[in-house]
Amino acid sequence: MDTFASQSAERESLESVVIRFAGDSGDGMQLTGTQFTQSTALMGNDLATFPDFPAEIRAPAGTTFGVSGFQIHFASRDIMTPGDAPDVLVAMNPAALKVNLPDLKVGGMLLVNTGAFTAGNLKKAGYEENPLDGDDLAPYRVLKLDISKLTLASVEPFELSTKEALRSKNMWTLGLVMWMFDRERSETVAWLEKKFAKKPEIAQANIAALNAGHAYGETAEFPQGIGCYTVPKADLEAGTYRNITGNEATSWGVVAGAKLAGIRPVLGSYPITPASTILHTLANLKEHGVVTFQAEDEIAAVCAAIGASYAGSLGLTSTSGPGVALKAEAIGLAVATELPLLIIDVQRGGPSTGLPTKTEQSDLLQAVYGRNGDCPLPVIAAQTPGDCFYMAIEAIRLAVKYMTPVMLLTDGALANSAEPWKIPSFADFEPFPANFRTDPENFHPFVRDPETLARVWAKPGTPGTEHRIGGLEKHHDSGNISYDPDNHHKMTKIRAAKVAQIADDVPAQTVDQGDAEGDLLVVGWGSTYGAISQAVSACRASGLKVSHAHIRYISPLPRGLGELLKSFKRVLIPEMNNGMLIKILRAEFLVDAKGLNKIAGQPFKVSEIEAAIRSHLSNEPSE
């Protein structure tokens, strides 16, 4: 039947959908999710994604700990999170069903590959009985298909081995889901042709599977409740868009920021999850003058960056919490020698090795306080994947202007999640050229700018400004080593004052949503932005006097924050840690803030924050 027109006429229009693709690590779920994301972006929906993969590189096939998932939330309206519970779950094997079924919305759609429900796979997933047979799936709209068999049939003409042929089952599934949600296949076809350019028969087999899945949707009779849908375009601000992940945005922000400063970025880095893709991305941007150095360890990585800054480049290092711990002493050296340095901490679950592939916000106190001595430095945090671009530039601006290391906090959720991003024009950014001292007259290395308190930056190679610096305390007025007690007191105060007054150079704290006073202020930082924003929006829609403030500058805290906190009866601070920002705000402003803490390695659900807001507002504060 030639049905395209009639089919699309029958499509049910939905405002938003959350789909989770789940399968074994070897099933290609991340690729499936990424391709679905690409075509969804082209359809003009707003979207957010959350990839969730195991820490093991090759976990044993079929086990629950080898399950890999990719969730995408797309809508015809503005959305900010990858969604709470999926509306649609694609389970490619029993383990994926076991791990993900508890999250599926009651009444949600479940697509299972029955071909993978063999006795062996059921046992590996820990099922005593086949869940497809009993009543367990009754609350859902279930579509059981032997995707393995359907895939084999679709690629038969290519005479591949069974093992190879079965690899295409993710593309078959993608084809079907694309049909269900009215997505275009052309981009995926082009991508497959490029990816398998050297193995054209594999490319063609995958394309055949993709098309077969799509055709299956068009022709098959589905059970009650399974249909086809459309999600209209979102009303996005005019402009050119792309999908961007946090680590891409951070990397590109580094290149842009260094260009605005007029100096070469030199990255010293050591591989660590979830920060490594920053090293990979920057290593591939050599034509931008980026120097990347994969050092022998985390300490060498930051030390090389400090050496580069000393020599007049922009030294930077990318890492995660365990790496920041190792770098602490060297960061102190950069504080003591007052050199620009960018430290990017893509946070993950801790302590120790913790949960390398899961997200957390538990490096906050380490970032602000985690060094020996009184060792202040600016700490800033990005709140969305796209914001990483702007905050990387901002970190570089502060580092160069104030001659100080700056810590940029992102996290695993931002690092790997994609969102549509309105591409800025580079010409709109104000340059902040680095200012090198070349005049030997009255020079010493700790001559300060009276306004910024930044010391001069004289790079080796400049005649007449030869000088020695180091980690030993220096005399405030000559830069020579000094053990004088009063001088150390004075230098400690100067270093603190230099960082503290940066608050005058960053935007004052505002509310992101709601009034500047009311019953409850929800204060967040980092990647919780989307979830808090949507929860507050929902609560406000139901008449609650709740507002949302999101802190991007953590040290020093922005001007106006103290007054804002005191303008609300209550303050709620959701964090993906056991209570860190709350300690700082309580200490700084003596506010009786309450925490909402989730330390599960997963981002907040909107509903969790919404429930907390409602519960905090349901009983009036006792005065």
Interaction with another protein in 98-137: which residues (CB under 8 A)? Answer: none
Structural contact between residues 300 and 438, judged by C-beta atoms closer than 8 angstroms? no
Cβ 170 to another protein, closest distance in Å?
Answer: 20
Which of these segments, 237-245, 500-508, 534-542, 568-576, binds another protein (CB under 8 A)? Answer: 237-245
Residue with smaller CB distance to another protein, 8 or 438: 438
Residue with smaller CB distance to another protein, 198 or 468: 468
d(CA 318, CA 410) in angstroms, rounded, equals 11
Residue with smaller CB distance to another protein, 139 or 471: 471
Scanning the structure block, which residue is given the tokens 């009276």?
Answer: 450
Q: Read off the tokens for 622.
A: 């006792």
Residue with smaller CB distance to another protein, 301 or 561: 301
Should residue 252 be labelled a site residue for another protein when binding is judged by CB under 8 A?
Answer: yes
Residues 22-51, interacting with another protein (CB under 8 A): 38, 41-42, 44
d(CA 240, CA 422) in angstroms, rounded, equals 6
Residues 319-338, interacting with another protein (CB under 8 A): 329-330, 333, 337
- Residue of 215, 236, 355, 500 that binds another protein (CB under 8 A): 236
d(CA 121, CA 341) in angstroms, rounded, equals 51
Q: How many residues does the chain have?
A: 623
d(CA 472, CA 405) in angstroms, rounded, equals 17
What does the DSSP 8-state code read for residue 62? T
Residue with smaller CB distance to another protein, 174 or 612: 174
d(CA 401, CA 454) in angstroms, rounded, equals 7
Residue with smaller CB distance to another protein, 84 or 248: 248
Letter for the amino acid at 166? L
- 3-class DSSP state of 336: helix
Residues 165-194, interacting with another protein (CB under 8 A): 187
Cβ 495 to another protein, closest distance in Å?
Answer: 17
Query: How many other C-beta atoms lie within 10 A of the C-beta of residue 576?
Result: 30
Cβ 526 to another protein, closest distance in Å?
Answer: 23
Residue with smaller CB distance to another protein, 155 or 330: 330
What torsion, rounded to 10 degrees, do the Cα atoms 267, 273, 277, 279 define?
20
d(CA 523, CA 533) in angstroms, rounded, equals 10
**Selection from 47, 8, 418, 44 nearest residue 181 by Cα:** 8
Residue with smaller CB distance to another protein, 210 or 336: 336
Residue with smaller CB distance to another protein, 63 or 251: 251
**Selection from 619, 517, 614, 612 nearest residue 573 by Cα:** 612
For another protein, what does the binding mask look like between residues 371 and 410, x meaning CB under 8 A? ----------------------------------------
Cβ 279 to another protein, closest distance in Å?
Answer: 14
Letter for the amino acid at 19? I
Cβ 314 to another protein, closest distance in Å?
Answer: 9
Should residue 148 be labelled a site residue for another protein when binding is judged by CB under 8 A?
Answer: no
Residue with smaller CB distance to another protein, 62 or 268: 268
Which of these segments, 49-57, 232-240, 362-370, 500-508, binds another protein (CB under 8 A)? Answer: 232-240
Residue with smaller CB distance to another protein, 458 or 561: 458
For another protein, what does the binding mask look like between residues 464 and 503, x meaning CB under 8 A? xxxxxxxxx-------xx----------------------
Cβ 466 to another protein, closest distance in Å?
Answer: 5
Helix (H) / strand (E) element for 82: namely none
Structural contact between residues 520 and 592, judged by C-beta atoms closer than 8 angstroms? no
Should residue 262 be labelled a site residue for another protein when binding is judged by CB under 8 A?
Answer: no
Burial 106-131 (b: 16+ CB within 10 A, else e): eebbbbbbebbbeeebbebbebeeeb
- Residue of 223, 431, 463, 543 that binds another protein (CB under 8 A): 463
Query: Residue 141 pairs with which residues in a beta bridge?
Result: 109
- Residue of 47, 176, 295, 499 that binds another protein (CB under 8 A): 295
**Selection from 274, 392, 387, 369 nearest residue 580 by Cα:** 369
Residues 337-376, interacting with another protein (CB under 8 A): 337
Cβ 85 to another protein, closest distance in Å?
Answer: 29
Q: In what order do the strands lie in the sheet with 88-91?
A: 46-52, 67-75, 16-24, 88-91, 109-113, 141-145
Number of chain positions touching another protein (CB under 8 A): 71
Residues 426-455, interacting with another protein (CB under 8 A): 426-427
**Selection from 264, 340, 270 nearest residue 306 by Cα:** 340
